[in-house]
Amino acid sequence: MKVNDRVTVKTDGGPRRPGVVLAVEAFNEGTMYLVSLEDYPLGIWFFNEKDHPDGVFVELEN
């Protein structure tokens, strides 16, 4: 995923929420995505863990 991609994010106890990627930071353990959501237009960070499907919070919008 890259900046300006439309994505959905997994949040606790609710449906996936749509947003837009504002920034991407790669780490050894995975990737951080700064995502603009309706309630957080300036962005909120989400972390996708490598090799852990339960730790994937950001996915491309279908």
Kindly report, residue by residue over 5-58, the tens digit of the pLDDT. Answer: 999 999 887 899 999 999 999 999 999 999 999 999 999 999 999 989 889 999
- The CA distances from residue 45 to 20, 52, 60, in Å, are 12, 18, 16
Q: How far is CA 32 from the centre of its chain?
A: 7
* Model confidence, pTM: 0.91
What pLDDT, on a 0 to 100 scale, did the predictor assign at position 14? 84
Angle at 24 between CA 32 and CA 54, to 5 degrees: 35
